[in-house]
Amino acid sequence: MGKIIAIANQKGGVGKTTTAINLAASLAALELKTLIVDADPQANATSGVGINPKEVEVSIYECMVDDIEATKCIVQTDIKYLDIIPSHIDLVGAEVEMVSIDKREQKMKMSLSAIKDDYDYIIIDCSPSLGLITVNALTASDSLIVPVQCEYFALEGLGKLLNTIKIIQNRLNPELEIEGILLTMYDLRLNLSNQVVQEVRTHFKTMVFNTLIPRNIKLSESPSFGVPAISHDADSKGAISYLNLAKEILERNQVNAA
């Protein structure tokens, strides 16, 4: 049975897309069949795996709004075991168009249920909002990863996110779990980074992944080549840390990596 994991935090620029792309690519490198669902109109995950959002014909938007089958929206990437359901800018309109639709919070869940078992992992990249598309993503998911940037105001907005998760658990998806909190853009040399790590670990304890994602240039430049860091420079600290995250998740889920 496939597991669906959303990468969510309504705070912008905390490393959601970087995590979605590189975690998915790492799971694929471990020979697990993986699908990225790009649920952000910015379409950064789409372009980050080498697909031009302007050339996307059927996106997650058509799945949710026009009831197009998810299988018809899947695009293969150049990476073995890694597929994507892309996004494009029209997804902005989905929020508005879906308001009058019946069961509007469950459209993504219904779409993905048809393909869930074709994959080991489905990773959903959410936008920096708690709007209807993110609610759809969290309703469709088994768990979520919350990236937290090792920066000033790291915990800002986390209370609101946890509250939204509670509401979704109560009303829409009782099975939703927090897979873990992921510390991103960690800089060993910065006192501030270390303070944030300590604060988050003290507060959230075992909810926090052991794996820390360092600030690493290969992670920030690989999207411009349209590849994950593991394809750009497999020996980089960034690529290795996301591979470690994938292994930690597999361990937590008691699946043996190939």
Ligand X SMILES: Nc1ncnc2c1ncn2[C@@H]1O[C@H](COP(=O)(O)OP(=O)(O)OP(=O)(O)O)[C@@H](O)[C@H]1O
Which does residue 165 bind out of Mg ion, ligand X, none, counting CB within 5 to 8 angstroms by kind?
none
In the complex with Mg ion, which residue's Cβ is closer, 16 or 116? 16
Assigned token pair, 38 = 């790009």
Contact letters (x/-) for ligand X, 119-138, by CB under 6 A? --------xx----------
- Residues 103-114 as b/e (b if ≥16 CB within 10 A, e otherwise) read ebbbbbbbbbee
* Beta carbons within 10 angstroms of residue 177's beta carbon: 13
User: Cβ closer to ligand X: 115 or 130?
Assistant: 130
By CB under 6 A, tell whether 41 contacts ligand X: no
**Partner from ligand X, Mg ion, none contacting 63, C-beta within 5 to 8 A by type:** none
Residues 6+ apart with CB under 8 A from 23: 7, 123, 145, 242, 245, 246, 249
Residue 184 binds Mg ion (CB under 5 A): no
6 binds, among Mg ion, ligand X, none (CB under 5 to 8 A by kind): none
Q: Which is nearer to Mg ion, 88 or 116 (CB)?
A: 88
* Residues 6 or more apart whose Cβ sits within 8 Å of residue 29: 81, 230, 243, 246
Q: Does 16 bind Mg ion (CB under 5 A)?
A: yes
Maximum separation of any 2 CA atoms in the chain, in Å? 52
How far apart are the C-alpha atoms of 166 and 107, rounded to whole Å? 20
Residues in contact with ligand X by the rule CB under 6 A:
12-18, 40, 42, 44, 127-128, 184-185, 213, 215-216, 219-220, 238
